[in-house]
Amino acid sequence: MEIAFKDEIIYQIYPMSFCDSNGDGIGDLRGVILKLDYLQNLGITCIWISPFFKSPRDDNGYDISDYRDVDPVFGTLDDFKDLMKEAHRRKIKVLMDLVVNHTSDEHPWFIESKKSRDNPCRDYYIWRDGKNNGEPPSDWGSHFSGSAWEWDETTGQYYLHLFSKKQPDLNWENPRVRGEIFDMMEFWSGLGIDGYRIDTACMYSKNMQFPDTGEKYKVACEYFNDGPRMHEYFREMHEKVFEKYGQLSVGEANGLTPYKASLYTREDRKELSMILQFGHVMLNRKTHKWANDPVTPFDFKKALLGWYEPIYAYSGHLGNYLSNHDQPRQVSKFGDDKKFWKESAVMLAMLNFTLPGIPFVYQGEEIGMTNCFFEQDEYRDVEILNFFRQCESEGKNLNQYMDGVVFNNRDNARTPMQWSSGINAGFSSAHPWIKVNPNYTRINVEQQMHDGDSILAAYKKLISLRKNHRVLVNGNFSVLDREHPELLLFSRENQEEIFLVILNLSRRSITYAMDLSIDIDSFKVLFANFTLGRPFGNLIVPPFGGCILRRGSESAV
Ligand code: TEU
Ligand code: CA
């Protein structure tokens, strides 16, 4: 059975860095409206906009102080309504970011909650006494360094924050909190929102005893991820909002297994449409969050197959992504942003558009935007700035982590969208809130718009190919030559046709003798980033080479 929305091509917009329409150096909603024609021309059918709600922007909007209004820096509610109208006019759906594990500490609920222990909003959040020795309630660490507990002098208790201390966790055990959230979702659904990307989707149901992990400041995923009431919460959300409005729901879900992910995304479970898993993006960070551990092409291949094969065996659903606002630029991480910049950018796009699952494109990946080097004072992200502060306070030598910091920091993905080689890459007429990647003079939309051999042109072709061949939406997924250390080979097959996808995930040229059981010469090249000589039997796949071969059922032997 095919889920609704399976044909979508979803483009993620990080509004602060997308397009500044009013010359204040920060992207905004009217800037998004200005670029809807560009997105329509690219072939995008749906946009996910990272938070644009009222926020002190401690975490660039993932710290919300008013869920029902647009932050003035992004515009007004009327601007949002215009955006909805203009997007829908172009048959582009709009997903909003649902950030409900926590609010900002400047949200009225939290301002009330911290006034007194008996305030009606007290148990909207998670407050606990410290230990007798003056220590926090437990040894849990925040994702953004330090303790996950912050002391509040007024009421003499600690509050939980899995992220920054300006992002107090909501208490989902409280039915009033759930009611507030579903009401808020009704508000945005009433404005025509087509669905939600759900932030930190499996962290809402915590072990409310807050047991120690035994390791100071360990991020206690075992006690807050995929907790006991998560399915109950999403079934309620599905019934009260998603089903009622026919909406798409995409859960950002780190730390699951394919089976557990299927319990959130199987149609009959009536919870989420799909999840975005983390198996491939955390490969280089196994020893430490700020490590840059070596990752082989085979590691990358196994991480992908470790998800894509079982999830479909369990009838679960994934979004396909290699980039987002939290991850390094994909061409720098999984490709080669120097010697094989274009080849690897296009090969990765082929991967993302041909794996089973709904493809997500993160702003700038379609032109091959790369990681960016920052001087220490040029960083903006709370996650990395907190880590610098933690290293300083604990007397840790930051240099031991700098390779990982430079490679993994989230600001890599948040440099302004590179529209042209003009001032500030055409992003803004004012000095941008964050450094523009200096390579904007050669990597920008304007430069690629009219180049049929550009990365942008490849994205347009691949999106069109995906729209014209539903085998990429509903075709069976079969892996070939699973043990090959550099080549990823798989087929997608339905009644009408079969696609054969061959991708070199490495920077080595690979000579490959096709399995003779496949009559590969009956296939035609549909798309490739290198020239294939016939017969295809003995392929020489160049570094980051990729090809998509097709055979129609009419020609099947
Ligand atoms: O990210 C949650 C999350 O998984 C992050 O901790 C991410 O893995 C990490 O930053 C990678 O280094 C979501 C949002 O995508 C992120 O932007 C927010 O900062 C976070 O939640 C809190 O809302
Ligand atoms: Ca602006």
Predicted TM-score of the model (pTM): 0.97
Q: pLDDT value at position 555?
A: 56
Q: Which residue out of 150, 169, 199, 411 is catalytically annotated?
A: 199
Atom of ligand 1 nearest to the CA of 327: 11
Mean pLDDT for 441-457 is 97
For residue 511, give the 3-state DSSP assignment: strand
Using the predicted structure, report yes or no on whether residue 72 has a pLDDT greater than 60.
yes
Q: Where are the beta strands (DSSP E) in 379-507?
A: 476-480, 487-493, 497-504
Using the predicted structure, report yes or no on whether residue 193 has a pLDDT greater than 60.
yes
Using the predicted structure, report yes or no on whether residue 112 has a pLDDT greater than 80.
yes
For residue 26, which ligand has an atom nearest its CA?
2
Q: Does any ligand 1 atom lie closer than 6 A to the CB of residue 321?
A: no
| Angular region, 23: left φ>0, alpha ψ -120 to 50, beta rest | left
Mean pLDDT for 336-348 is 98
| pLDDT tens readout for residues 210-269 | 999 999 999 999 999 999 999 999 999 999 999 999 999 999 999 999 999 999 999 999
| pLDDT tens readout for residues 383-418 | 999 999 999 999 999 999 999 999 999 999 999 999
Q: pLDDT value at position 113?
A: 98
Mean pLDDT for 357-363 is 98
Q: Are 146 and 386 in contact, with CB atoms under 8 Å apart?
A: yes
Residue nearest to atom 1 of ligand 1 (CA): 200
Say whether 58 is catalytic: no
Q: Does any ligand 1 atom lie closer than 6 A to the CB of residue 290?
A: no
Q: Does any ligand 1 atom lie closer than 6 A to the CB of residue 103?
A: no
Using the predicted structure, report yes or no on whether residue 2 has a pLDDT greater than 80.
no
Q: Does any ligand 1 atom lie closer than 6 A to the CB of residue 145?
A: no
Q: How far apart are CA 433 and CA 425, in angstroms?
A: 13
Say whether 199 is catalytic: yes
Q: How far apart are CA 454 and CA 460, in angstroms?
A: 10
Q: Does any ligand 1 atom lie closer than 6 A to the CB of residue 20?
A: no
Q: Does any ligand 1 atom lie closer than 6 A to the CB of residue 71?
A: no
**Distance in Å, CA 408 to ligand 1 centroid:** 13
Q: Does any ligand 1 atom lie closer than 6 A to the CB of residue 63?
A: no
**Distance in Å, CA 350 to ligand 1 centroid:** 26
Nearest in space to 434 (alpha carbons), one of 11, 4, 16: 16
Q: Does any ligand 1 atom lie closer than 6 A to the CB of residue 225?
A: no
Atom of ligand 1 nearest to the CA of 325: 17
Using the predicted structure, report yes or no on whether residue 493 has a pLDDT greater than 50.
yes
**Mutational test site, ligand 1, from 143, 196, 204, max ligand atoms within 8 Å of CB:** 143
**Distance in Å, CA 326 to ligand 1 centroid:** 6
Atom of ligand 1 nearest to the CA of 62: 23
| pLDDT tens readout for residues 90-101 | 999 999 999 999
Q: pLDDT value at position 538?
A: 86
**Distance in Å, CA 389 to ligand 2 centroid:** 30
**Distance in Å, CA 59 to ligand 2 centroid:** 18
Residue nearest to atom 9 of ligand 1 (CA): 326
Mean pLDDT for 272-279 is 97
pLDDT cut 70: percent of the chain above it:
99
Using the predicted structure, report yes or no on whether residue 1 has a pLDDT greater than 80.
no
Q: pLDDT value at position 557?
A: 43
Atom of ligand 1 nearest to the CA of 383: 10
Phi, psi of 330 (to 5 degrees): -65, -35
Cα–Cα distances (Å) from 318 to 48, 356, 428, in that order, read 16, 8, 35
Q: Are 199 and 98 in contact, with CB atoms under 8 Å apart?
A: yes
Q: Are 345 and 362 in contact, with CB atoms under 8 Å apart?
A: no
Residue nearest to atom 2 of ligand 1 (CA): 200
| pLDDT tens readout for residues 511-532 | 999 887 888 889 999 999 999 9
Q: Does any ligand 1 atom lie closer than 6 A to the CB of residue 326?
A: yes
Residue nearest to atom 16 of ligand 1 (CA): 326
For residue 29, which ligand has an atom nearest its CA?
2
Paired with 329 in beta bridges are none
Atom of ligand 1 nearest to the CA of 408: 12
Q: Residue 460: count other Cβ atoms within 10 Å of its Cβ.
A: 17
Mean pLDDT for 408-432 is 98
Mean pLDDT of the chain: 96
Q: Does any ligand 1 atom lie closer than 6 A to the CB of residue 250?
A: no
Q: pLDDT value at position 556?
A: 47
What DSSP element (H or E) covers 318? none
For residue 282, which ligand has an atom nearest its CA?
1
Q: pLDDT value at position 4?
A: 64
Q: Which residue out of 252, 271, 337, 411 is catalytically annotated?
A: 252
Nearest in space to 468 (alpha carbons), one of 7, 1, 5, 154: 7
